[in-house]
Structure 1
């Protein structure tokens, strides 16, 4: 006859508990230590962390059903996606900015939806539903809660999920990676490309109007001018040191970049450029003159600000690294003031663009001038020429027409 204690154990049960994050549910269940040797007794298994009683009960009933059919419960059922993902992330060697990006997506989009689901109960259909839900109302950032998440962001969520599941496959916890199934249906690269904002570069006249105005009206004119004439990224410009610039040879070496690490509190970090390696950018005479004047200005503030290890565009009080977001705000203010200046003088103002669009302006104007895309790729630091061609495909038809016209003139001359 089975004693009361065994019967009580055999039923298992649900319980509620409190955490710093709020109320949670757990379940407990007893299964044989060894199905083939019941005399060895039972062991208690369970799972905690469920946000609702319903989720906990569904999970427990699945375990009860499996115990009824097989006499035990597979351990894999007890490993949730969230638990495994946290272990997986802790073992990754990632740059701090990448790690924070992963954690942000896991916390905002993945854990709340499939964090408590056992690894081996993740299905392609469940993932497809998750992606569609995110596209409809996935945003969680302040001021945009409940809005749809863009296809590129949803694709990044999919990439993280797929990486976690693949690691589980490699460890033998899963038979296959369901995220790689067609049924999972994440956003395609075509959809991502179609959703991208169009590049918004300035014309030659707009660029010249702004740099002419800035030279007399903005103390960061040298920074704006260098950005427009080199195509460097914001972080690369702010990490430049005088030792990176060879004014005699008219070259600039991109060796590092400043990035914002969104911790609490956030911090600035200097790391390798996005491409991972140093690149050398040739400078035109106008940029050389601008940098020489800027260096002379800095020398009047503090001669130490012109040393080889000093920041080219550091803060004027201590030469410390400028915050990238502050520089972007300064840019928007400068463009707005330039526009008002032009309107007051009944001149056509440059249209509003972001600081990153200055990089696009540099690339677009070079391609329109007939510069080979490979050269543009090297100046911008793109890892492949495909990236350059895809980004600036809007310029290529014009370049092709000009190339055909040049070829036609060549034949006529011959």
Structure 2
């Protein structure tokens, strides 16, 4: 197997590889364009010959990154949720393609990717009103890296150029957790509304928005005071669909007595409300519904929560998801073991719980140190006596 270089213009080289067609035995040539010094071109020629001999050679192609995105998006359609696929498609087509889509995939370089990120931060908004947030550019990098990683698996690329690029630093979103007094005030404000039960489930049980809208009465165990979280709802452009929980497995959550009492009262009110409409309540009905018993979309719950909260000047402005954070923070601050918090929240591992709520742990460590100290001092006192 041989190869040589030809100078096309100053700094521009053609790397020519001589090889045999495995089927016909006829001689073929593969041409690669290279920019650099003669010595660098010779090294590139030697590298390509080595990849040919090792079976890692990738033939040059003229497919652009924008064209490749379409193939890749179709490939991953069955591997991610519809909502995730919508997000991937939006970022690939509307954020990445305008910046890098015209580049031939096999010629994409790390410096081009880095420059594209810089441009996105400076002037990447589609409405022309400035740059994108670092978090958005970080999502762009994650999707581009994943797409190019597949190109390596398909042997279109030898290596992933996005691996050599560092995305912008993203500050972690600050969580706003309500204390017990604020939670009580929140309950009082929402009690006259239909969103009261979702607020209770979020604050006292740590349910996610999609888990609230997917909860059915058959999942409520009145005898033991538990609810089974077995599914969630996801809203896409095509409508709302049921899916498994975020961790991929169900969980059993014990209801505080207050939440159990409110659920019982809500169950009765809902049955009476439906009876007036000529509808009989069913065990597979949803806990949180519209007036006619039909399910509520996750986005509608968020919008209604935000609208009602805005009417209270004495309450902090929080997201519905912050109710979940409030539940976790109050549990850990009360000395509940993080493993129990993980199980109630439905995190896939305790490491996620500890990482998200590490700000609560210093106080817990001080409390633990004080308890150990008190126990040892008591034991020492008895020994001395």
Q: State the TM-score bracket (shorter-chain normalisation).
A: 0.7 to 0.9
- Pick closer, same or farther for the CA change 1:371–1:306 going to 2, 3 Å: farther
Q: Show the counterpart of 1:229.
A: 204
From 182, 185, 189, the counterpart of 1:206: 182
Q: Distance in 2 between matches of 1:253 and 1:139?
A: 43
Query: Separation in 1 of the partners of 2:316 and 2:280?
Result: 34
Match among 89, 102, 106 for residue 73 of structure 2: 89
Residues 157-190 of structure 1 deviation map (CA, whole Å, 9 limit, x = unaligned): 1222222222222222222211112xx2223xxx
**TM-score, scaled to structure 1:** 0.73
Q: Residue deviations 1:22-42, cap 9 Å, x none?
A: xxxxxxxxxxxx999xxxxxx
The 5 Å alignment of 1:105-254 reads 105-140=91-126, 145-181=128-164, 184-187=165-168, 191-192=169-170, 195-215=171-191, 217-254=192-229
State the alpha-carbon separation in 2 of the partners of residues 384 and 320 from structure 1: 34
Are 1:258 and 1:268, in contact at CA under 8 Å, matched by a contact in 2? Answer: yes
CA distance in 1, matches of 2:158, 2:72: 18
Contact kept in structure 1, 2:88 and 2:143, CA below 8 Å: yes
Distance 1:388 1:172, change over 3 A: same
Give the aligned partner of residue 413 of structure 1.
378
Aligned 8 A contact 1:241 1:311 in 2: yes
Residues 1:276 and 1:305: Cα distance change in structure 2 (over 3 Å): farther
1:286 is matched with which residue? Answer: 258
Q: Secondary structure in 2 aligned to 1:76?
A: coil
Query: d(CA) in 2 for partners of 1:196 and 1:137?
Result: 23
Superposition deviation, residue 252 in structure 1: 0.8
Provide the rounded CA distance (Å) in 1 between the counterparts of 2:280 and 2:116.
Answer: 52
* CA–CA distance in structure 2, aligned partners of residues 377 and 147 of structure 1: 40
Matched, 1:311 2:286: yes
Counterpart of 2:24 in structure 1 is none
**Structure 2, unaligned stretches of length 5 or more?**
1-17, 21-32, 36-44, 46-57, 380-385
1:255 and 2:241 correspond: no
Between 1:281-290 and 1:386-395, the stretch displaced more is 386-395
Structure 1 residue runs of 4+, over 4 Å off? none
1:297-318 CA distance string (max 9 Å, x none)? 011112556422100001112x
Any unmatched runs of 5+ in structure 1? Answer: 1-33, 37-59, 63-69, 340-348
Give the C-alpha shift of residue 124 in structure 1. Answer: 0.7
Calculate the TM-score normalised by the size of structure 2: 0.78
Moved more, 391-400 or 96-105: 391-400
**SS of match in other structure, 1:307:** coil
SS in 2 for 1:337: coil
Separation in structure 2 between the aligned mates of residue 257 and residue 305 of structure 1, nearest angstrom = 24
Q: Distance in 1 between matches of 2:97 and 2:217?
A: 46
2:362 is equivalent to residue 387 of structure 1:
no
Following superposition, the deviation at residue 286 of structure 1 comes to: 0.9
Q: d(CA) in 2 for partners of 1:254 and 1:113?
A: 43
Say whether 1:273 aligns with 2:245. Answer: yes
Given the superposition, is the C-alpha separation of residues 297 and 152 from structure 1 closer, same or farther in structure 2, using an over 3 Å criterion? Answer: same
RMSD: 2.6
